[in-house]
Amino acid sequence: MELYIFNQDNRQMAGIIEAYEYLRWTRRYSQCGGFELKAIANDSNLALLRLGNVLWKNDDEEAAIIEFVELTMQEREYITVSGRFATCFLARRIVWSTETLGGDLSAGVAQLLNNHLIAPSDDNRKINGISYTPVNLGKPINTQISYRNLMDAVTGLCETADTGIKTVFNPAVGTFEVILYAGADSPAVFSKEYENIIEQVYTLSKTDHANTALIGGEGEGSERTFAATGGGSGEGRYEIFVDAKDLRAEDFPDNYEEALIFRGDAKLSEQALVQAFDVTVNQYGNLKYKADFDIGSNIRAVSKRWGVSMAARITEIEESYDRVGMSLGVTFGKPLLTLSQKLKGGTL
């Protein structure tokens, strides 16, 4: 594995990072991934590791953008850089209007990207070298989005539809392609008993959980339109109210109720039961990374001692490299939201 740096201005290769203290490379399924790299602050690294430059790991499809630089002096001088994968280009734009989305998820994302990033009416809003080709995913959407951060809007739709997003880098020409995809099913079973994991943390939480939503659309008092989605009864029923007054019936003449229900389902997906396994993979076990499992794979995680058996999607993989070698941390299922993620949650 080698680390290449490409210039921000022309996306041409500027050099290779020859040595570093550690690299954490975190891939995510429905969200934007990120990285952190610490290296000795020699002349070469100082020249290459600059804000805006592109970091590409040649055994990965995705590349990352350097968004943070820190110089420190301990026994030696070090430079630490971090940032997000190239999907973060979307975060530089907002939905500059009200977009009504219908049909397949892929078509809705195409509408958002074309209007606000790839081919906007204002050329100042265009980012060159980014493309997207919709491929029908069989994931219908009915919603309206206004003035949200573009990346949050797109990844929010992907989360709701259990769909992956990645931005693939072509180093030969310095271009990026945004791709939506469905993770593959895998027969892989992760278990301490099978000796293919070293450490494990199991999380089960109903904090902020909801499974039934009453959605309020346009109108006032007895004239207001309502819809409901979800289910449950007795102690197992957790209700929330979702305010969707911004959705107007005139924008959804044939499927206003579907639009309200889509908004409710999106909110319920944010507040679903949290069930996740975080494990450190034994790389000398019976399962091989990117062959038997990968980001987005549907697998099974089992702990006989804890009485847990769950079918889950791999939602995050952290590759860690240091002087000792590589280690692999894998998250199965829906992890707990951080405070910043909760605060960023918006309306689809």
Task: For residues 321-346, give the mean pLDDT.
Answer: 72
**What does the alpha-carbon distance between residue 48 and residue 327 come to, in Å, rounded to a whole number?**
26
User: DSSP code of 8?
Assistant: T
Q: Is the pLDDT of residue 65 over 70?
A: yes
DSSP string, 221-232: GGG--EEEEE--
Looking at residue 16, its pLDDT comes to: 97
Residue 335 pLDDT greater than 70, yes or no: no
Q: What CATH number is given for 89-182 in this structure?
A: 3.55.50
How many other C-beta atoms are found inside a 10 Å radius of the C-beta of residue 163?
21
Predicted pLDDT of residue 96:
97
Check pLDDT > 60 for residue 339. Answer: no
pLDDT tens across 135-166, in order? 999 999 999 999 999 999 999 999 999 999 99
Mean of pLDDT values over 278-302:
94
pLDDT of residue 74: 82
Task: Tell me the CA distances in angstroms from 150 to 115, 167, 175, 247, one per residue in order.
Answer: 11, 14, 20, 19
pLDDT in the model for residue 276? 87
Residue 44 host element (H or E): helix 43-48
Domain ranges of the chain: 3-86, 89-182, 185-206+273-315, 212-270
Phi and psi angles of residue 120, each rounded to the nearest 5 degrees, phi first: -70, 160
Q: Of 269, 253, 333, nearest to 301 (Cα)?
A: 333
Q: Is 268 helix (H, G, I), strand (E, B) or coil?
A: helix
pLDDT at 233: 93
Question: What average pLDDT does this structure show over 21-28?
Answer: 97
> How far apart are alpha carbons 193 and 304 in whole angstroms?
8
In this prediction, residue 345 carries a pLDDT of 54
Cα separations in angstroms, 127 against 9, 90, 116, 176? 12, 9, 9, 11
Q: CA 259 → CA 100, 204, 225, distances in Å?
A: 10, 31, 12
Task: Say what the pLDDT of residue 344 is.
Answer: 54
Position 347 scores a pLDDT of 53
